[in-house]
């Protein structure tokens, strides 16, 4: 994308991270002055950069309606936008890390009280000092095996900051021993030797590498969005140049004052430290995190979980956000036991939950009965489990805060009976609850959708906490950076389906999912349901789509089964399944009406498939799996043999049931 118009640069100072629309001003820096200023800056930093083309320096003739300034998410130009979010005029005011690119790694030396963020995927090992990532403190003791950190497009950038460490764990000689593996001689005078020999307890040294795994390769092949940057630059930068490290690691680094895509969670960390100290004193913690959409609930929950893992063996995570689930594909609520820190977006750390309930939709208003019954089952499961009761509990909730959403959160609080409730306040009134979720307010709420006498709800006596959101200040570049909620759910499902390749011990990422041998299930062993009014030929609706692999207790659950004359010719159809246990998801590869069998591809192991007796729902397969690099239909498309030929474009329209499914 080329920006044709030019905009003058204002001298007005803005807060770090504040998103400001470019506008006309009288005080402008001419292109020549800006070039001279940048040359002077580069000379001070002793770093060789290519001088910018004058044609890309902005002028004051900016038009908000100019379509040339819109970033197309389907192109590679959004990386250009991201690379330019850092203000070059403030680089010398920031303690930026020092990067030294070696043969197979990058050594990062960080000065005290330094923060920086990145976009990419890194494998980090601490050689000296300590750093904090997502609230988790990393040092030599817990990074003997390097940790993998994902900072993806569509979410806030991951921030790395220095923190205090035990001086007994630090040894400059061990740093040199690690560098000796790359033939770095400590007796050769250079800037690296100077930095290492002058290390103090407040400094940090990291060994950084990039990595690829089945998940990243699968998403790179099938995801319609580029989640990680692709940096191509033939320039031969020096080994201590930040740009060389970015090219080697395929990662963009940004200074602390560049907060347009990162979140400053200092206030959140203060609250988390208070909860951590209470947990350290053996106080039972059960905290519910509430708030509207995009206020930072998931980020807060990850930081809280990571911090609590420093004092406890595991943390129980109750995920009640069926739209953007943390450890499972959308459409479920679950209980998970977390034993390792979380270093990335939800799709980077999907795992098999301890217990999972199938709700049926990302929109609670379409499955409110299943959602309420699911909460009731999870709470009972949590209270009755001796394994879960000994760990702190973190509850993440959905961002539905108006109308019936207020009733649901009040019901949730009174059902769980937490020790603490955190309410994150948005700057937008429509994104907040109509009242503060204090114990006295919640206990006097009446529910419009039920008679409270029918529920065994006790009064809550929780402590109430309020935090202003720190996520809404950094919503710049939304056209090129953000990913829509339904697209995030597709990425999460793609991440889950990548397990099909792993489950078959096949590490050849080029092999298509359809080439994996599916499981076959007889009609007589399963029931089927769309969990909505009966539709004829239900198997035809499910065929080629994703279904929930569930288990129903037909003796206890309120299950309605359609009466059928001949059950052997067709699976039994459930008219309604109330919040069944979900073991996973699978793609219906085909239906054999002659042999009475259903063929399913799923990452589930055979040991868990034995518990499945219901196939519920019909979700479309992510569009990335539909666009195969093969010829089209006969007589409609063929092989591209000529150098100038290309495959015809095959459009795909997402199936949605209503406008809320976005």
The answer to whether residue 170 scores a pLDDT higher than 90 is no
Q: If 0-12 CB within 10 Å is exposed, 13-18 middle and 19+ buried, where does residue 126 land?
A: buried
How far apart are alpha carbons 545 and 589 in whole angstroms? 8
Average pLDDT value for residue range 157-182? 84
User: So what's the pLDDT on residue 646?
Assistant: 62
Vertex 538, ends 534 and 539: CA angle to 5°?
A: 165
CATH of 267-468, one of 2.102.10.10, 3.10.150.10, 3.20.20.210, 3.40.50.300: 3.40.50.300
How far apart are alpha carbons 180 and 526 in whole angstroms? 61
Chain segment 514-540, per-residue pLDDT in tens: 788 899 999 989 999 887 666 778 888
At residue 89 the predicted structure's pLDDT band, cuts being 50, 70 and 90, is: very low
User: So what's the pLDDT on residue 513?
Assistant: 81
> Which range (252-256, 303-307, 325-329, 596-600) has the least confidence?
252-256
How far apart are alpha carbons 3 and 29 in whole angstroms? 18
User: So what's the pLDDT on residue 264?
Assistant: 67
The answer to whether residue 510 scores a pLDDT higher than 90 is no
At residue 65 the predicted structure's pLDDT band, cuts being 50, 70 and 90, is: very low
Q: If 0-12 CB within 10 Å is exposed, 13-18 middle and 19+ buried, where does residue 643 land?
A: exposed
Supply the pTM of this predicted model: 0.81
CB 299 within 8 A of CB 152: no
Nearest in space to 430 (alpha carbons), one of 296, 321, 298, 293: 293
Question: Between the CA atoms of 482, 485, 487 and 490, what dihedral angle is there, to the nearest 10 degrees?
Answer: 140
Average pLDDT value for residue range 618-640? 66
User: So what's the pLDDT on residue 60?
Assistant: 34
Percent of the chain with pLDDT over 70: 72
Chain segment 207-252, per-residue pLDDT in tens: 999 999 989 999 988 888 889 999 988 888 999 999 999 999 999 9
Query: Is CATH 2.40.30.330 the right assignment for the domain spanning 505-625?
Result: yes
The answer to whether residue 59 scores a pLDDT higher than 70 is no
CB 80 within 8 A of CB 52: no
Domain layout of the chain by residue ranges: 1-70, 92-255, 267-468, 505-625
């Amino acid at each position: 994308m080329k920006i044709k118009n030019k905009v003058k640069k204002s001298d007005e100072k803005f807060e770090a991270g504040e998103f400001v629309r470019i506008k006309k001003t009288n005080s402008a820096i001419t292109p020549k002055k800006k070039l001279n200023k940048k040359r002077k800056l580069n000379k001070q930093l002793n770093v060789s950069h290519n001088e910018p083309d004058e044609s890309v320096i902005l002028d004051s003739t900016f038009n908000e309606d100019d379509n040339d300034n819109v970033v197309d998410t389907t192109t590679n130009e959004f990386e250009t936008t991201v690379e330019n979010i850092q203000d070059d005029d403030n680089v010398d005011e920031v303690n930026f890390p020092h990067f030294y690119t070696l043969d197979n790694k990058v050594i990062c030396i960080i000065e005290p009280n330094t923060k920086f963020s990145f976009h990419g995927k890194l494998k980090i090992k601490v050689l000296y000092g300590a750093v904090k990532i997502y609230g988790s403190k990393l040092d030599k003791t817990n990074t003997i095996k390097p940790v993998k950190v994902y900072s993806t497009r569509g979410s806030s950038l991951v921030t790395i900051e220095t923190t205090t460490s035990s001086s007994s764990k630090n040894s400059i000689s061990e740093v040199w021993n690690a560098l000796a593996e790359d033939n770095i001689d400590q007796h050769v005078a250079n800037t690296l030797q100077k930095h290492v020999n002058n290390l103090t307890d407040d400094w940090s040294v990291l060994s950084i590498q990039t990595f690829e795994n089945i998940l990243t390769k699968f998403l790179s092949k099938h995801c319609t969005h580029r989640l990680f940057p692709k940096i191509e630059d033939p320039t031969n930068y020096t080994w201590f140049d930040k740009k060389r490290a970015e090219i080697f690691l395929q990662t963009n680094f940004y200074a602390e004052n560049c907060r347009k895509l990162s979140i400053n969670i200092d206030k959140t960390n203060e609250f988390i430290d208070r909860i951590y100290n209470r947990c350290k004193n053996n106080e039972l913690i059960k905290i519910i995190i509430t708030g509207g959409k995009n206020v930072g609930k998931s980020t807060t929950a990850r930081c809280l979980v990571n911090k609590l893992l420093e004092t406890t063996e595991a943390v129980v995570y109750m995920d009640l956000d069926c739209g953007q689930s943390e450890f499972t594909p959308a459409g479920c609520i679950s209980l998970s036991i977390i034993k390792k820190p979380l270093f990335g977006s939800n799709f980077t750390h999907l795992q098999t939950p301890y217990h999972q309930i199938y709700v049926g939709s990302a929109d609670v208003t379409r499955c409110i009965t299943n959602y309420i019954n699911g909460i009731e089952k999870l709470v009972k499961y949590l209270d009755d489990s001796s394994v879960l009761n000994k760990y702190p509990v973190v509850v993440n909730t959905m961002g539905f805060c108006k109308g019936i959403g207020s009733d649901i959160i009040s019901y949730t609080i009174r059902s769980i009976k937490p020790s603490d409730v955190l309410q994150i306040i948005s700057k937008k009134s429509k994104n907040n609850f109509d009242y503060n979720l204090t114990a006295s307010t919640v206990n006097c709420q009446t529910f419009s959708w039920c008679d409270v006498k029918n529920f065994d709800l006790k009064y809550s006596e929780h402590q109430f906490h309020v935090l202003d959101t720190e996520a809404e200040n950094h919503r710049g570049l939304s056209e090129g950076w953000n990913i829509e909620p339904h697209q995030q759910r597709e990425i999460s499902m793609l991440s889950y389906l990548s397990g099909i390749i792993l489950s078959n011990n096949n590490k050849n990422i080029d092999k298509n999912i359809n080439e994996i041998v599916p499981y076959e299930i007889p009609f007589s062993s399963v029931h089927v349901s769309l969990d909505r009014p009966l539709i004829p030929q239900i198997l035809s609706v499910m065929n080629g789509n994703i279904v929930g692999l569930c288990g129903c207790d037909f003796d206890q659950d309120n299950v309605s089964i359609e009466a059928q004359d001949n059950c052997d010719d067709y699976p039994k159809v459930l008219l309604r399944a109330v919040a069944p246990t979900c073991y996973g998801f699978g793609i219906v590869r085909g239906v054999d009406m002659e042999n009475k069998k259903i063929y399913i591809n799923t990452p589930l192991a055979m040991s868990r498939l034995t518990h499945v007796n219901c196939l519920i729902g019909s979700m479309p397969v992510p569009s990335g799996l539909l666009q195969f690099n093969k010829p089209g239909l006969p007589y409609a498309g063929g092989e591209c043999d000529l150098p100038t030929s290309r495959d015809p474009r095959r459009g795909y329209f997402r199936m949605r049931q209503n406008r809320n499914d976005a």
